[in-house]
Amino acid sequence: MSRLWNRIPPLVRGLALVAIAAVVVIVLSLQSVLATVGGLLQIAFFLAIAFFLFLLWRERRGDLEAWSEWNRRVFYAAIVLA
């Protein structure tokens, strides 16, 4: 079995795993669970980006003070938009 698995190209293996996951979701009617998990992942991703930007700001606060007023405003606006 492992020789057969190793002969299959990685792209085909990945697509097969995605197809199997899709069939399981459809057969077990897990669409609402999938939507909930997707929403939670979006929130977690947003929080991870916000945490990264906070760490960047906290570590480089002194460097930011050396920037011009315009550059600081652009940087903070980018953080707000992210």
What pLDDT is attached to residue 5? 77
What pLDDT is attached to residue 15? 95
Q: Give the list of residues 6+ apart from residue 5 with CB closer than 8 angstroms, or none.
A: 13
Q: Are 24 and 30 in contact (CB under 8 A)?
A: yes
How many whole angstroms separate alpha carbon 59 and alpha carbon 22? 43
Mean pLDDT is lowest, of 6-20, 40-54, 61-75, for 61-75
Domain count across the chain = 1
What pLDDT is attached to residue 14? 93
Provide the percentage of residues in the chain whose pLDDT is more than 90. 46
The answer to whether residue 44 scores a pLDDT higher than 90 is yes
What is the residue range of 66's domain?
A: 2-81
- Which comes out higher in pLDDT, residue 11 or 4? 11
Backbone angles phi, psi at 60, to 5 degrees: -110, 25
